[in-house]
Amino acid sequence: MTLDPDRLCVHQVTLMKQCDFAQSLDAFVRNGIFKTAVWREKLDAIGTQEGSRLLKDSGVDAVSLCAGGFLTSRDPANFQSSLDDNRRWIEQAAAIGAASLVVITGGLDEGDRDLAGARKRALEGFSQLIPEARAAGIRLALEPLHPMVCGFRSVLSSLREANDWLDQLESDSAMAREVLGIALDSYALWWEADLEAQIERAGQRIINFHVSDWLPDTCDLRLDRGMPGDGGIDNLRIRQWIEAQGYNGPVEVEIFSERNWWLRDPNEVLKVIKERCATAI
Ligand code: ZN
């Protein structure tokens, strides 16, 4: 079924190089888009208070704040300071009216080869943040990323693992179920052989849905994402699987594109996104 335009959300990062915080909101409003995911880099550049004011004045809703987490360091002082950062980001997310803080685990410290240890620390870190997130009314959306960035961005690489992690966290803490969720990014998970079954297993855990496309000739591990419809990901089918579990939240276009979309006029980028809504999202 065609996506209801009211559900369209465009991440600020999709206009990362063209727009500052205020300019991105102007571009969204000009193009009839009233949902965004706020990026910390943009928000920090102007401050939380000013960011909240601009969101309110523009009528654009912040769906989430991206991205927190980074809880894999084996250095105890670094690990603690990351927890403190996340506590601040939870407060920031609450101040801008976002429903969730999207969290990625982080990768391996330099010289670290203990992948299991890094995963254990990330799990421990998320569990420690549950009470603060709950008090602030913010959900933590765990975002697994593609295995190719396991070493430097995320030691959580599949929806299957995310489900396993949430099974464990929920069995350890009664609050986990209401606080923790999953951000499903089609770019990160489209390859997963039993994705449909894992989406069924996740059920209502999926609270954020990020879309872009995997270009057949992709040339960068992170910064060469395609526009939905230009690559190999069946975003429409993945959306149907998620909606079969009751999801009717925003569909969030998140494109990192150093060589293409970040070089184009914001109005053109947003116009193409809206066109693709009818065909590829
Ligand atoms: Zn994402």
DSSP-assigned letters across all residues of 238-262: HHHHHHTTT--S-EEE---BTTTGG
Cα 188 to middle of ligand 1, angstroms: 8
Q: What is the distance between the alpha carbons of residues 236 and 248, in angstroms, rounded to a whole number?
A: 14
Which residues make Cβ contacts (< 8 Å) with residue 105, sequence separation at least 6?
69, 70, 71, 72, 118, 119, 122, 142, 154, 155, 156
Which residues make beta-bridge pairs with 183? 208
- 115-136 and 159-172 helices, crossing angle to 10°: 60
113: CB partners within 8 A, 6+ apart = none
pLDDT at res. 258: 98
For ligand 1, the distance from its centroid to the CA atom of residue 253, given in whole angstroms, is 9
List C-alpha distances in Å: 70 to 19, 122, 170, 252.
26, 8, 21, 22
Cα(257) to ligand 1 centroid in Å equals 13
Name the class of domain 5-276.
alpha beta
CA 130 to chain centre: 18
CA of 150 to the centre of ligand 1 (A): 15
Quote the ligand 1 centre to 112 CA distance (angstroms): 25
Distance 108 CA to ligand 1 centre (A): 20
Output the pLDDT for position 1.
Answer: 83
How far does residue 209's CA lie from ligand 1's centre (Å)?
Answer: 8
Range 273-276 contact pairs with CB under 8 angstroms and sequence separation of 24 or more: 273/8, 273/10, 273/14, 273/227, 273/228, 274/5, 274/8, 274/31, 274/32, 274/33, 276/227, 276/228, 276/229
Calpha distance 180→171 (Å, rounded): 12
Question: What CA dihedral angle connects 94, 137, 13 and 81, to 10 degrees?
Answer: 80
Q: What is the mean pLDDT of each run of 10 residues along the chain (281 residues)?
A: 94 98 98 98 98 98 98 98 98 98 98 98 98 98 97 98 98 95 98 98 98 96 96 98 98 98 98 96 95
Give residue 75 CA to ligand 1 midpoint distance, Å: 27
Domain ranges in the chain are 5-276
Which residues touch 154 (CB under 8 Å, ≥6 apart)?
Answer: 104, 105, 106, 107, 143, 144, 145
Helix (H, G, I), strand (E, B) or coil at 228: coil
pLDDT reported for residue 27: 98
Measured in Å, residue 117 CA sits from the centre of ligand 1 at 24
How high is the pLDDT of residue 266? Answer: 98
Q: Report CA(66)–ligand 1 centroid distance (Å).
A: 8
Q: How many Å apart are CA 17 and CA 257, to the nearest integer?
A: 9
Distance 32 CA to ligand 1 centre (A): 22
How remote is the CA of residue 15 from the centroid of ligand 1, in Å?
Answer: 15
d(CA 210, ligand 1 centre) in Å: 5
- Tell if the pTM clears 0.75, that is, is over it: yes
Give residue 211 CA to ligand 1 midpoint distance, Å: 7
Residue type at 82 in one-letter notation: S
- Going from the Cα of 29 to the center of ligand 1, the distance in angstroms, rounded, reads 22
Whole-number Å distance, alpha carbon 183 to ligand 1 midpoint, is 7
Distance CA(141)–CA(96), nearest Å, equals: 16
Query: How many of the other CB atoms lie within 10 Å of CB of 49?
Result: 10
Tell how far the Cα of 254 is from the centroid of ligand 1, in angstroms. Answer: 6
pLDDT at 193: 98
